Amino acid sequence: MLVVGRKPGEYVMIGEEIMVKVVKSEDGNLRLAIDAPKEVRIVRGELYEEQNNKWKS
């Protein structure tokens, strides 16, 4: 696993098509903005785990 520090406005590229940018909301929380092709499936971690646990049962 790669761990990088990024400040609001900075981003990382995954390959040449996926950009993950750190953005700061009005309440001070950090959020991720993901720009990826439509065919790339993006799922929040808690939903991914929920789906995988259902399939294992």
Helix or strand or coil: residue 54? helix
For residues 41 and 49, the answer to whether their CB atoms sit within 8 Å is no
pTM flag (> 0.75): yes
In tens digits, the chain (57 residues) has pLDDT values of: 999 999 999 999 999 999 999 998 788 888 999 999 999 999 999 999 988 887 665
What pLDDT sits at residue 55?
Answer: 62
User: For residue 42, what are the CA distances in angstroms to 19, 30, 35?
Assistant: 12, 18, 10
Residue 24 and residue 7: Cα distance in Å, rounded?
9
